């Protein structure tokens, strides 16, 4: 309920965050452009910039070149080397950690390939904490860590980062967020999100989905996860467990068994193992390597591989058409292993979209992820930055 | 971007609308309760109520009985007999028109049963305009019509009420909204919405979905439409054509032909004709009457009818499980003819939800529509009221 106008102080805090967000997402930008985009006058922009500069969040400099006559407008840049977050990405086959600077630059990263079986919470958190120490050690002494975020391949309870259900790693009700926070010992909470949710957010803010208010992101891995942006916001549902498009049943009676216990789920029909099995390569390879081998073989003309990709493409197209009918998105983005599969399966996907999506919703872009394999990691970093972007001075004052 | 606080005048307008909305949705309520719910003091409530009273939108009266000592708080009531909208519901088999008073009371209604074939725009608009004249004629002379809304069984372009695609009535690009507005001659625009979208809004505001921020509404008719509320707002998608859950493909390879040109869509598997065909009654009956006959026969123990309902229930359950995985809703509501089918098909639906929805999202209520067969009509009325609820005095000043 509106009782009265916001106080000057609230407005100032809001505008500081908004300016920092512009610079964080858009990169170096002149004061003049900021004034224009934010609808504020230049003296207000100058005051806000001065405050962010003295807090060490941005710096101002003369533009490298200018074509206009007169005094050039100073350029405002994020302090990418000084203000950073830690971002983690816990995948079935890999653990990734990165130091990501304000502005979204990955400053340093560490990775470990994992064997599929037997990774318990303690092992995973141990590896990530070790990576964090190494990443901190290499940071500039005057730099500051303002947040920690993690992407996880499972269903995450909002608020405390509890992994409720991570079937592909065999985790149920594991206190991942709090455990990692304790082990890091930075006095910072760890914001945890589902990997595909975070991938969708990252693609929406910095990738193939910039400018779209409605987008569907499909993230392929052992399973297929989803992140869906509706009206500019991530769909979370009543408890934060929405977007599970991988468990949309597309093949109810002849479907492959799924890790969730059901049959014919989209992820059972188009996941890594389905492709490898259909190509007749079950005994040779598995995981992402196996997917690449099938895609490469198809490119060389191997008929079983091509046929497998066609069949995967057909199921994927059914799923995508259903999602288009439900969400009327502006763009559908394929990430994770689907980024590698989609180009070879595109004709079948397009065919299904043309025949199964309602004619009026068919004008939709189909794209691979703009951030390559880093969508989920960048999404974790964005989650970690959210505090400093909403109240810049408070987050630093800790 | 926030530049400054809202003006006192903006706040007053906002609060007038908010108070009117409370009374419109909640019915008669004391000033004391309004003060409490809106977080405003009683003198502000008194001033707002006085203004709405003098505009003729609400009236104040002493409560019928009071248990507390001291001066009783006056009760604020919507002027249901004086302030009304016209609501229309265009269905494949029926045209409905109603005069609906502020507060949501249906004051009077007119209906015409339609033969399926050959209803063109001109015929439909002609019937609705005649109904409108009759409804106006019977209204109190001092009453005022503040809006017009219509529900239509097809895809509607937001803004101008153009029917883009109404396959079940054979309409493509028909200017329904503007044509009806012209023919009514009230100088009011006609707000048109997809019937299932409006059904969802009505159930959310007044029906089985009150209190849920995430709900899925399935509306069965010749086809199956959907309205999905995400975070309290109707999912519309990039151009307003989202929520088409009836065209989610659940049976891609053995599916029945669908009116959209595809195969195995949810609406092809669970629509009226599917049920009637499966029960072996194709030659006897059609439409809603046919559905009722099958449900009645099943209740009497007719085995083909029971089997048909089991099969419909299984497909419906697959669709519902998929929607639960995607939207993590608090409630799923069955409206239109599905309101009559669901009780007989509930065991199969529950079985599919238990086996196909992810365990963590299964805690969801499955209910038939709380507004009976009037969800879509009430939704059209709510659409018509939206102007007066957002700026009460302006809407009356016309």
In a domain, B233, yes or no: yes
- Is there a contact between A242 and B229 (Cβ–Cβ < 8 Å)? no
- Is there a contact between A19 and A51 (Cβ–Cβ < 8 Å)? no
- DSSP-derived secondary structure for A173-217: EE-HHHHHHHHHTSS--EEEEEHHHHHHHHHHHHSTTTT-SSEEE
In a domain, A2, yes or no: no
Top residue of A18, A328, A332, A353 to mutate, by most chain B CBs within 10 Å, is A328
In a domain, A184, yes or no: yes
* pLDDT, one tens digit for every residue, chain B (398 residues): 445 556 788 888 899 999 999 999 999 999 999 999 999 999 999 999 999 999 999 999 988 766 666 777 789 999 999 999 999 999 988 999 999 999 999 999 999 988 765 578 999 999 999 999 999 999 999 999 999 999 999 999 988 999 998 877 888 899 999 999 999 999 999 999 999 999 999 999 999 999 999 999 999 988 999 999 999 999 999 999 999 999 999 999 899 999 888 999 999 999 999 999 999 998 888 888 999 999 999 999 999 999 999 999 999 999 999 999 999 999 999 999 999 999 999 999 999 999 999 877 788 999 999 999 999 999 999 999 999 999 898 877 65
Q: Which domain holds residue A317?
A: 209-370
Other C-beta atoms lying within 10 Å of the C-beta of residue A329: 26
Write out the two tokens for B136: 């106006």
Structural domains of chain A, count: 3
In a domain, A190, yes or no: yes
Q: 3-state class of B257 per DSSP?
A: strand
Distance CA A180, CA A186 (A): 10
Q: 3-state class of A49 per DSSP?
A: helix
Q: Report H helices in chain A.
A: 8-26, 31-38, 42-54, 121-137, 176-184, 195-206, 266-270, 272-278, 287-299, 303-327, 338-356, 375-390, 392-397
- Is there a contact between A148 and A191 (Cβ–Cβ < 8 Å)? yes
Write out the two tokens for B214: 């995430």
- Contact yes or no for A360 and B241 at CB 8 A: yes
Domain boundary among B25, B53, B78: B78
Question: Nearest Cα to B334, choosing from B225, B192, B214?
Answer: B225
**Pair B128, B234 in one domain:** no
**Pair B328, B388 in one domain:** no
Biggest CA–CA distance in chain A, Å, is 72
**Pair A29, A140 in one domain:** no
Domain boundary among A63, A78, A93: A78
**Which of A155, A261, A325 is facing B248, going by the closest CB pair?**
A325
pLDDT at A7: 78
**Pair A310, A246 in one domain:** yes
CATH classification of the domain holding A255 = 3.30.420.40
Q: N- to C-terminal Cα distance for chain A? A: 31
Is B236 at the interface with chain A, CB within 8 A?
A: yes
Distance CA B339, CA B122 (A): 31
Neighbour-count burial of B355, counting CB atoms closer than 10 A to its CB (0-12 exposed, 13-18 middle, 19+ buried) = middle
**Pair B225, B244 in one domain:** yes
**Pair B390, B345 in one domain:** no
**Pair A222, A332 in one domain:** yes
- Between the alpha carbon of residue A21 and those of residues A17, A58, A367, A387, the distances in Å are 6, 11, 26, 11
Q: 3-state class of B308 per DSSP?
A: helix
- Is there a contact between A206 and A370 (Cβ–Cβ < 8 Å)? yes
In a domain, A326, yes or no: yes
CATH classification of the domain holding A13 = 1.10.10.10
Is B4 at the interface with chain A, CB within 8 A?
A: yes
In a domain, A1, yes or no: no
In a domain, B222, yes or no: yes
* Cβ neighbours of A252 in B, within 8 Å: 250-251, 318
- Contact yes or no for A325 and B245 at CB 8 A: yes
Distance CA A279, CA A302 (A): 9
**Pair B265, B335 in one domain:** yes
Distance CA B289, CA A145 (A): 67
Beta bridge partners of A170: none
Distance CA A235, CA A231 (A): 9
Write out the two tokens for A8: 């000057």
Q: Smallest CA–CA separation between B330 and chain A, in Å? A: 6
What would the pLDDT profile of A321-333 be if each residue is shown by its tens digit? 999 999 999 999 9
Write out the two tokens for A129: 């904490």
Strands A365-368 and B171-174, sheet pairing: unpaired
Stated as kind and residue range, the H or E segment containing A233 is: strand A233-234
**Pair A219, A269 in one domain:** yes
Distance CA A246, CA A226 (A): 7
Q: 3-state class of B194 per DSSP?
A: strand
In a domain, A204, yes or no: no
Residues of chain A with pLDDT under 70: 1-6, 65-69, 116-118, 397-398
Write out the two tokens for B68: 């507390």
* Cβ neighbours of A325 in B, within 8 Å: 244-245, 247-248
Report CA torsion sign: B206, B208, B213, B216. Answer: negative
Domain boundary among A78, A99, A122: A78
**Pair A220, A359 in one domain:** yes
**Pair A128, A269 in one domain:** no
Strands B155-157 and B162-166, sheet pairing: antiparallel
**Pair A123, A194 in one domain:** yes
Distance CA B379, CA B336 (A): 13
């Amino acid at each position: 309920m509106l009782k009265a106008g916001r106080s000057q102080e609230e407005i100032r805090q809001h505008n500081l965050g908004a300016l920092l967000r512009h610079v964080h997402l858009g990169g170096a930008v002149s004061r003049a452009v900021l004034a224009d985009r934010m609808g504020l006058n230049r003296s207000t922009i100058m005051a806000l910039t001065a405050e962010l500069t003295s807090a060490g969040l941005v710096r101002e400099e003369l533009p490298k070149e200018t074509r206009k006559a007169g005094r050039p407008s100073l350029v405002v840049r994020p302090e990418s080397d000084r203000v950073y977050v830690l971002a983690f990405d816990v995948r079935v086959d890999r653990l990734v950690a990165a130091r990501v600077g304000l502005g979204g630059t990955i400053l340093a990263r560490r990775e470990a390939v994992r064997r599929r079986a037997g990774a318990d919470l303690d092992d995973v958190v141990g590896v990530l904490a070790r990576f964090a120490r190494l990443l901190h050690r290499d940071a500039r002494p005057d730099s500051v860590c303002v947040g920690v975020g993690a992407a996880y391949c499972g269903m995450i309870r909002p608020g405390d980062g509890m992994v409720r259900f991570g079937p592909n790693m065999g985790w149920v009700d594991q206190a991942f967020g709090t455990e990692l926070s304790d082990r890091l010992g930075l006095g910072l909470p760890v914001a945890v999100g589902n990997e595909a949710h975070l991938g969708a957010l990252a693609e929406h803010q910095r990738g193939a989905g910039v400018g779209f208010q409605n987008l569907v992101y499909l993230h392929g891995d052992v399973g297929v996860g989803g992140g869906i942006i509706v009206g500019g916001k991530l769909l979370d549902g009543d408890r934060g467990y929405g977007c599970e498009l991988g468990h949309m049943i597309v093949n109810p009676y002849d479907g492959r068994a799924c890790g969730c216990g059901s049959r014919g789920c989209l992820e059972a029909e188009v996941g890594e193992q389905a492709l490898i099995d259909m190509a007749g390569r079950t005994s040779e390879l598995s995981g992402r390597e196996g997917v690449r081998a099938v895609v490469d073989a198809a490119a060389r003309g191997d008929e079983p591989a091509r046929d497998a990709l066609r069949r995967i493409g057909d199921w994927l197209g059914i799923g995508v058409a259903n999602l288009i009918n439900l969400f009327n998105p502006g763009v559908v983005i394929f990430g994770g292993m689907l980024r590698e599969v989609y180009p070879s399966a595109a004709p079948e996907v397009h065919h299904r979209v043309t025949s199964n999506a309602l004619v009026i919703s068919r004008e939709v872009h189909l794209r691979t992820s703009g951030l390559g394999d880093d969508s989920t990691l960048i999404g974790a970093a964005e989650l970690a930055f959210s505090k400093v972007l909403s109240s810049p001075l408070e987050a630093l004052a800790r």
